[in-house]
Amino acid sequence: MHKSVRICLIAVFLAFSSPAWPSLPAEVDGEPLPSLAPILEHVMPAVVNVHTRTRVQVRASPFFDDPFFRRFFDSPAVPRERIQQSLGSGVIVDAGAGLILTNNHVIDGADDIAVMLEDGRELSAEFIGADRDTDLAVIRIDADDLHELPLTDSDRLRVGDFVVAVGNPFGLGQTVTSGIVSALGRSGLRGLEYQNFIQTDASINPGNSGGALINLRGELVGINTAIFTPSGGNVGIGFAIPATTAEHVMAQLVEFGEVRRGSFGAEVQDLSSQLREALEVDVHRGAVITRLQDEGALDAAGLQPGDVVVAIDGRPVTGASSFRHIEGLLSVSSSVRVEYLRDGRERSARVRIEEDLDARISGHRLDERLDGVVLVRIPDRSRAQGVLVEEVRRNSSAWQAGLRSGDVVVAINRQLVRNLGELRQQFPLSEGREMVLEIRRRGAGYLVTLE
């Protein structure tokens, strides 16, 4: 046997026959071993625990819905109250203003929001705004000596970069896990309109939502938001919202309390191999325009159904999902360059983005009594008339009056409304006039009065 091979075998034997593995030295050749501790000393004070309480009305028995039953047993019609609590995480991104970025699903519907800092202080938080389409929310606390972790350019991330997740899994308290960027531009999660996730194998568990994903420079590159799991636990597939997306959304939530999005006025689908042959284009990825809204942004710029959009302001469009994501981050009244293919030829157009208020509008822009309500256009394919109530913020005036998500407004103050454009024309109401909404809910008609 070769001498070097015998030496290696003896070394391996001695290693496995020793009673215990030796501890790692603090230094190697006079140099300290790599550690994340110095970075985390700066990061962890900016990551907070978020606690919410929600009061839910419940009844002891369905028989209490029957007026005869209540009179017979002399029982009041007051429902009982149950408290739901949830835990999550957040990141202080502006210490001076006390602004904290978290996930919408962490604070959605909460009656009370509390924040616990790393130093043990517990503070009440004020709701600033939320965006369900990206699952982001902004809350604010009033405190001194806060540490912040500003958002950075997440577009510089590459697959294989090391990242660290910091959050509050299972309510245990601040926890740190590490991994790499497994993929970029992920989509396909249910319930979110705009998706461009960072995928990581850093352990993300329930309670990590809203926490920080940082790079090895200690910069905030993402907001942890979801995991893929068949069992309920971590399996190494976690998702974070890129910092560039979070920064755009947060700026609008702070300024308007909502995200005001521009619209291309187009419906698109992925470029399949069959469409590629039929349209005679030599690209493998893009978004095919299937329908244009009359006088919409792309229609006004001269684009047509069948055109294949391949880039927007230099950002590649790989399919329908990336098209919608880029559209969702465009500022109202901005101008972008759209590159597309038609008849196999490359073309481009300058497109001005405007907000489509006949497609979606926040109620407070119509009347303060509709604050917390989001109204949207009913899809044309449904052939139904009216305006769909997409969202009603819990404990708002409209909520207390009985308006709920999923309701369809068909008239206001006895004036029929066939679409959102007609509803908008009813405002502003004359001063002091009561607002009576006629709605349809699961096939039944109701009146909701807002004073």
Integer angstrom CA distances of residue 72 from 62, 75, 76, 241, 362: 15, 8, 11, 55, 45
Catalytic positions are 105, 135, 209
Structure tokens at 381: 């394919």
Structure tokens at 280: 């005679």
Backbone angles phi, psi at 277, to 5 degrees: -70, -40
Structure tokens at 242: 């890129």
Structure tokens at 356: 């489509």
Secondary structure of 10-51 in HEC code, one letter for each residue? HHHHHHHHCCCCCCCCCEECCEECCCCHHHHHHHHHHEEEEE
Report whether the peptide linkage leading into residue 428 is cis, meaning its omega lies within 30 degrees of zero. Answer: yes
DSSP strand pairing (266-270 vs 287-292): antiparallel
Contact in structure between 161 and 214 (CB atoms under 8 Å): no
